[in-house]
Amino acid sequence: MKSILYPLKFEPIYQYRLWGGRKLESLLSKPLPKDEPIGEAWILSDRKDHASKVSEGPLQGYTVTELMKQYPAELMGKLKNHFDRFPLLLKFLDCKEVLSVQVHPSDDQKKYITYGDTGKTEAWIVLETAKDSMIYAGLTPGTNEQNLSKAVQSNDVEKHLHSFIPKQGDGIFIHSGTVHTLRGAVVFEVQENSDVTFRLYDWDRTDAKTGKHRELQVNEALACIDFEQVNIGPVIPVDEGDQTEKLFDDEHFIVWRIQNKSLFAIGCINEPRILVCIKGNGKLYYEEHHFSINKGDVMLLPASVGQCNFQPDSEITLLEIAITDKHMPTTKTP
C-alpha cells in the first residue's frame, strides 16, 4: 500500500535570544520578527511548546508530533519502536554575542533531567564567522569543581575554558557534560531532542528585555560537568568518497556533508533521513515528482520514501543526517 508520506519540508520557528542578531535573514526565506535579536531558528522540532509544521503538500500544517503518532512505521521504519517522539532537534544559531557558559546532562543523569526529556549531546557546523569569532569547548587541563566554583564567584571563568578561533566549515562535537559556549558565528546545530541546559556563568550581563541577570544553575551545572572533557577542537572529517565526508558518528546521530554538482543518491531504505541545505539548491526526485530544496531548507525523508536521486542546480552543500540508536548501528547506504 502506498504511503501517504512524502519528502517533508518544515516552517522554521524563530526564537528571541539576547545574544542573537539578524543574520538568519540571509539563510532562511521566512522573514524574521521585527526589531529584536533572533538567536535561534528551530528547523525541525518535536517539542510540546514548539512543534514544527509541514510547510508544503497534502500534509501542510501537520506537526511532526502528529506525524509520529499517526504514521510511526512509515516515518521511522525500523526505528518505529525506539522513540516516542522525534529524537533529534535541529537549529540554526546566530551567535552575535557570546552565549552563557553552559553544560547539558548525559542521558543517565536522570536526577537532572525533566520527566520525558533526555540528556543532550550536540554538534555544530560553522556556517559564518566574524572578526570576534570564538568557540569555547571543554575545560583547560587542571580545572576541577573547586577552582571552577571559585571562578564563577569571582567572574573569572574564562581562564578555565579552552577556546579556539573557528573557521567556516568546522565541525565541533559537544558531548553531554562538556562545558561550552560561542560567539561571533552562525552555526547549524544537531542535538538530542532535549531542552535541558544549565547555565554556569553568564558574563555578568543583564537581559535588555527584563533589565535583570538571567538565572544561573551553578550547582546543577557543576554536578553535570565531565571534567575530563578538555581542549575540544574541530573534528577531522572522514572522506567516504563520492564528494561525501562524515563529520560526526555518535550513538544518537551521524552527519555527512555532501558537496556535489552532479546527480547522486540520498536517503536509506527503511530509515528516516534528514537533509539540510547550507549552500546552493537542487531537486530531489521521488516517484513521479520532484521536490525543491534551497539554502536554509530542512527536508525529512520518511523511512517509506527510501533512497532517492538528488540533482543539484549547481554545486550544493547538503547535510544528510541519520538517527542512530546505540543498540542499532546504521550505515550510509542500504
Mean pLDDT of all residues in 31-38: 90
Confidence of residue 326 (pLDDT cuts 50, 70, 90): low
| Residue 226 CA: distances (Å) to CA of 3, 138, 145, 232 | 44, 9, 10, 12
pLDDT (tens digit per residue) in 167-191: 999 999 999 999 999 999 999 999 9
Confidence of residue 236 (pLDDT cuts 50, 70, 90): very high
Mean pLDDT of all residues in 300-328: 90
Backbone angles phi, psi at 159, to 5 degrees: -65, -15
Q: Is the pLDDT of residue 155 over 80?
A: yes
- Relative to beta strand 316-323, strand 273-279 is antiparallel
Q: Is the pLDDT of residue 305 over 60?
A: yes
For the chain, which domains are there? Answer: 8-224 (2.60.120.10), 238-323 (2.60.120.10)
Assigned C-alpha cell, 293:
530544496
pLDDT at 227: 97
Mean pLDDT of all residues in 115-143: 95
Q: Is the pLDDT of residue 85 over 60?
A: yes
What's the pTM value of the predicted model, to 2 decimals?
0.94
Confidence of residue 332 (pLDDT cuts 50, 70, 90): very low
pLDDT at 247: 98
Q: Is the pLDDT of residue 333 over 50?
A: no
Where do runs of H (alpha helix) occur along 137-216? 145-153
pLDDT at 38: 95
Other Cβ atoms closer than 10 A to 208: 9
Confidence of residue 114 (pLDDT cuts 50, 70, 90): confident
